[in-house]
Amino acid sequence: MSDMLKSARFGQLPSFLILLGVLLFAVACNEDEGTPQTNPTDNALSGLDLPETPYNYSDITLPHHFRVNAFPARYRFQFAAVESDNTPSDNPTTDAGATLGRVLFYEKMLSANSTIACASCHKQELGFSDNEVLSLGFEGGKTRRHSMGLANARFYDTGKFFWDERAGSLEEQVLMPFQDEVEMGLTLDDVVRIVSEQPYSSTLFTNAFGDDMITADRIAKALAQFIRSMVSFQAKYDLGRSQVASPLDDFPNFTEEENLGKELFYATNLVAPSCASCHMSEAFVAPLLAENGSTIATNNGLDAQSTDDQGVYESTLVNGHRGKFKVPSLRNIAVRPPYMHDGRFSSLEEVIDHYSTGIQNHPTLQPFLRDNTTNEPVRFNFTPEQKSALVAFLKTLTDEDFLTETKFSDPFR
């Protein structure tokens, strides 16, 4: 067939057939030359549910009652929550840093058999605590103590972590579970290597720190930023608090029982200082003043003697610290059973019963819980009505938004 004839016949073909031929030719070329890749950043983060613009972790507007102490002068040890902020100057929370921390927090590759993440023992819907008495490690072994809730971890004046305060900072604490032989079973070298192998790491570390160098220090800083961003302040309590001038006023959105529970929680006319003496500020965290400058942990009379678990003493070797344990925030306490460092109480009712009639005469018992006249533990002897009211009040500290907020959730699809 002549070239002229070919040309004439080709020109008479329908346009869609011509287009099809061009596309097939392009596919053939690509098979020879290699298929063009999509944006490498998109590929690196393709397995993660992350927004194009990071969530806000760094510029959180805390409510007025977290920023200003509105307790009357007679509550002389009360303070605003922000006064107990343990964020170090060399690790301020950033949106990109906390985003990286969120991914690492949920990364199951960071255990010896890729089955356990930080989030396995700190579940969002449970206030980042665990419903197991003792959490399960990567091979099913049990941890020594119950997993503590992480809400408002930012507000702990000394910055020490774990029930026995053996970690001097949150940055130090977050690396320890990775290296625990029961929990995650790795070494720090393993952690750095595994993180380096993940496709998202180069992008997320560059976003957080300006380059993609991966170190244990940067891993710790990112995780600490994410955990410090877990501030809970949108509970029923906070809604009521925004409508009154003082935490001691009746809250208009509370039931009569809830207001009675709040009154008991803050009361100054009981046989001993109230619950607010150990759970202070409106973040309901530990006191500001460290005993002898070393600890703000306390002994709440769970036992008459310390046997298997010596508490803070194990970290400090100070005899006066035997049986003392860190005081966690009460935020979201109602969704965090079981309670105490060993998970011995399965309900809030059992906790209130302990303080009502069960406080034991341990040598290092919190002085507020000891009768100065008899040297015996106090007995609050709450009535059934008072017990019910205290439980009702504690339930007003549940922050449903915090328990479901996407920016704190699992980013792995």
The tens digit of pLDDT for each residue in 16-29 reads 444 444 444 443 44
pTM for the predicted model, two decimal places: 0.89
User: What pLDDT, in 10s, does the model give residues 130-160?
Assistant: 999 999 999 999 999 999 999 999 999 999 9
* Residues 297, 281 contacting (CB under 8 angstroms): no
Helices 201-209 and 188-197 cross at an angle (nearest 10°) of 110
Residue 174 belongs to a domain: yes
Look up residue 146 and give its DSSP letter. P
Q: How far apart are CA 289 and CA 314, in angstroms?
A: 21
User: What pLDDT, in 10s, does the model give residues 345-402?
Assistant: 999 999 999 999 999 999 999 999 999 889 999 999 999 999 999 999 999 999 999 9
For residue 405, the Cα-to-chain-centroid distance in whole angstroms is: 13
* Residues 171, 224 contacting (CB under 8 angstroms): yes
Residue 377 belongs to a domain: no
Give the residue from 226, 126, 268, 116 showing the smallest Cα distance to 177: 116
Burial code of 320-340, b = ≥16 C-beta within 10 A, e = fewer? bbbbbbbbbbbbbbbbbbbbb
pLDDT at 12: 47
| pLDDT at 42 > cutoff 80 | no
User: What pLDDT, in 10s, does the model give residues 308-335?
Assistant: 999 999 999 999 999 999 999 999 999 9
pLDDT at 44: 85
From residue 38, how far is each of 26, 202, 204, 217, 290 by CA, in Å? 17, 17, 18, 32, 55
End-to-end CA distance of the chain: 58
Residue 304 belongs to a domain: no
Residue 34 belongs to a domain: no
pLDDT at 293: 66
Give the residue from 175, 159, 171, 170 showing the smallest Cα distance to 295: 159
Q: How far apart are CA 408 and CA 123, in angstroms?
A: 10
Q: How many domains does the chain have?
A: 1
Q: How far apart are CA 326 and CA 176, in angstroms?
A: 17
* Residues 78, 69 contacting (CB under 8 angstroms): yes
Identify the domain containing residue 142 by its residue range. Answer: 87-231
Residue 122 belongs to a domain: yes
Looking at the chain, the whole-number percentage of residues with pLDDT higher than 90 is: 85
Residue 313 belongs to a domain: no
Average pLDDT over the chain reads 91
User: What pLDDT, in 10s, does the model give residues 216-272?
Assistant: 999 999 999 999 999 999 999 999 999 999 999 999 999 999 999 999 999 988 888
pLDDT at 36: 36
| pLDDT at 7 > cutoff 70 | no
pLDDT at 273: 86
pLDDT at 413: 77
Assign 85 to helix, strand or coil: strand
* Residues 202, 208 contacting (CB under 8 angstroms): no
| pLDDT at 35 > cutoff 60 | no
- Averaged pLDDT for residues 86-113: 98
Residue 152 belongs to a domain: yes
- Averaged pLDDT for residues 183-195: 98
pLDDT at 214: 98
Residue 102 belongs to a domain: yes
Among 183-197, 284-298, 367-381, whose mean pLDDT is lowest?
A: 284-298
* Residues 354, 345 contacting (CB under 8 angstroms): yes
Q: What is the CATH number of the domain that holds 196?
A: 1.10.760.10
